[in-house]
Amino acid sequence: MNRDELQSQANALRWYHTIDLGQGVVTRGVDNTPERLPRVQLPEDLSGRSVLDIGAWDGFFSFEAERRGAARVVACDYYSWHGVGWGTGQGKAGFQLARTALNSRVEDLDLDVLNLSPNAVGTFDVVLFLGVLYHLPNPLLALERVASVSKGLLILETVVDMVGIGRPAAAFYPDGELNNDPTNWWGPNHAAVQGMLASVGFTRVEVITPAPSAPYRAARAVYHRLRGKNTLAAGFRQDRAVFHAYKA
Ligand SMILES: C[S@@+](CC[C@H](N)C(=O)[O-])C[C@H]1O[C@@H](n2cnc3c(N)ncnc32)[C@H](O)[C@@H]1O
């Protein structure tokens, strides 16, 4: 595909991820994904490893895992590829165009996280579970499924809430309470995520992005409030966090 064809096909789609497709074409994602990449701390070298990206959407992190040498990458999703209210009505055309443009061998798997099992998909050295946990009405059940297909490192990124409470706790979001998005259900705090990961069998859990200090969160809450983004109380309590969890 030449550059002009690629540019016009990319322009015809709506993108969640910002992906460099090569030839100077970058998708116009609503998410500044390259900026998020360092926070996740994906291992630099994934040579020979198998990777499962749960909730992959346009596949930025799947393609990045492949670029870092993974022997096999499976991008798994359902809602943004098919679900009402998620997708852009274009199925997984974004993922597919990116895969073609990048000459990628990333496999795609249409599956709800609750249907993951070793029998259904096997087990993976590295599992990515980024930006999905808070979308699930039954997070502990989902983490059991995620743990069942993880045999090495799980990288989990999520909204956290109730930060600073001092004990494991989670906020519940009926209707559109978080970001006016009815697909958001739970915001656990760091200790709750750590507790859930331990309870589903991860023996070591590292908090990659610890909770910022209370003064920092207060200043940030005021900053966001002035821009009309959140209430002060919610801005003080909420953040996003990354965890690395290991089995044995
Ligand atoms: C906020 S996006 C995150 C996309 C990507 N992982 C990232 O971090 O940029 C949430 C993703 O989770 C997926 N998702 C939501 N519920 C899911 C479920 N029950 N099983 C699998 N994926 C789900 C959505 O389809 C969507 O692609």
- Report pLDDT for 84: 65
Q: What is the pLDDT of residues 30-51, one digit of tens each?
A: 999 999 999 999 999 999 999 9
- Report pLDDT for 76: 98
* Banded model confidence at residue 181, pLDDT cuts 50, 70, 90: confident
Neighbour order of strands in the sheet with 150-160: 107-110, 72-77, 50-54, 124-130, 150-160, 239-246, 204-207
User: What's the gap in Å between 131 CA and the centre of ligand 1?
Assistant: 6
Q: Which residues line ligand 1 (CB under 6 A)?
A: 31, 33, 54-57, 77-80, 86, 112-113, 130-132, 135-136
The pTM (predicted TM-score) of the whole model is 0.96
User: What's the gap in Å between 56 CA and the centre of ligand 1?
Assistant: 6
* Banded model confidence at residue 197, pLDDT cuts 50, 70, 90: very high
User: What's the gap in Å between 134 CA and the centre of ligand 1?
Assistant: 10
Q: Which atom of ligand 1 is nearest to the CA of 157?
A: 8
Q: What is the pLDDT of residues 6-21, one digit of tens each?
A: 999 999 999 999 999 9
Higher pLDDT, 37 or 84: 37
Q: Which atom of ligand 1 is nearest to the CA of 128?
A: 6
The continuous run of DSSP H or E covering 29 comes out as none
